[in-house]
Amino acid sequence: MGRIKPGGGYRELRSFQIATIIYDATWRFCEQYLDARSRMSDQMIQAARSGRQNIAEGSRASSASSQTELRLVNVARSSLEELLLDYEDFLRHRHLAQWAPGSPEAMEVRRSGVSDRTDMTDRSNRTDQSATRQSDDLRYALYNRWLDHADPAIRSNAIICLIHQANYLLDRQIETLEREFVEEGGYSERLAAARLEERNRKKQDMTDQSNQSDQSDSFPHCPKCGKPMVLRTVRNGKSTGRQFFGCTGYPECKGIVEI
């Protein structure tokens, strides 16, 4: 029997892939524009890390607890919301413009992620760590003209766009997890249902074996050779459909007992 609910597979989640870009971009942003010893720098990096790591931890925990998975994905969503406010504050405190959601710049960042990701997905599915690293680098490269820009305002706005994308995906992910929990129950409920099903199956098997044993005990033995007899049915002729007991030694022994 396979696992009731397999866990893992988080590297294939688009939310995790974008959260990885956000974490890498935030680390570089703080290194470039904030004092490494400042509380602000530490909080932003930790919020970005929490967004990524909790998606992964929730995916792994899904095989043991649906509630834990849902809680951790919500933590990831909250961490990215905190990070979003930090970038908005960075722009506001320095009197730098924030892109409108429908601005040409924001739309261009969104379009950069809508490309053929087949090759990167194939690489990320492999267990080889170098292939996974290469996939992460390729995804980051789709946005590097904004994320590595010399202007901190452009960097901040691009990361804000990515955070909005990740939050949208996490919201859909949370809705799906909630719906599955309501419709199918949590891990404990699924485990109990599987246990009950297995017990019923074994009970039915024992009943079937008992019925067969009881039935065979009531069959007569061949009056010619003494071997056990089985129930047979006439298949042709004017007596078609009539049942009788036939010897299990047939065709060597043709003993019968009429019913």
Q: Per mean pLDDT, which range of 51-60, 66-75, 175-184 is the poorest? A: 175-184
Nearest Cα to Cα of residue 10 among 46, 52, 48, 50: 52
Q: Give 11-15 contacts, CB < 8 A, sequence gap 24+.
A: 11/124, 11/125, 11/132, 12/121, 12/124, 12/125, 13/55, 13/59, 13/169, 13/173, 14/169, 15/55, 15/76, 15/166, 15/169, 15/170, 15/173
**pLDDT confidence of residue 130:** 72
Residues 71-100: tens digit of each pLDDT: 999 999 999 999 999 999 999 999 999 999
Amino acid at 138: L
Residues 221-244: tens digit of each pLDDT: 888 888 888 888 887 777 788 888
User: pTM for the full model?
Assistant: 0.67
Nearest Cα to Cα of residue 25 among 53, 45, 40: 45
- Mean of the pLDDT values across residues 2-12? 66
Cα three-residue angle 209-215-218, rounded to 5 degrees:
145
**pLDDT confidence of residue 241:** 80
* SS percent in the chain: helix, strand, coil, step 5: 65, 5, 30
List, in order of start, the domains of the chain with CATH numbers.
10-185 (1.20.1440.60), 219-259 (no CATH)
Q: How far is it, in rounded angstroms, from Cα 253 to Cα 259?
A: 18
Q: How far is it, in rounded angstroms, from Cα 132 to Cα 182?
A: 35
- More confident position, 7 or 175: 175
**pLDDT confidence of residue 191:** 56
- Give the chain's mean pLDDT: 84
Nearest Cα to Cα of residue 246 among 214, 238, 235, 237: 235
Phi and psi at residue 255, in whole multiples of 5°? -70, 140
In this model, does residue 24 exceed pLDDT 90? yes
**pLDDT confidence of residue 19:** 97
The Cα-based distances of 60 to 9, 51, 73, 124, 210 in angstroms read 8, 15, 11, 17, 44
Q: How far is it, in rounded angstroms, from Cα 98 to Cα 238?
A: 95
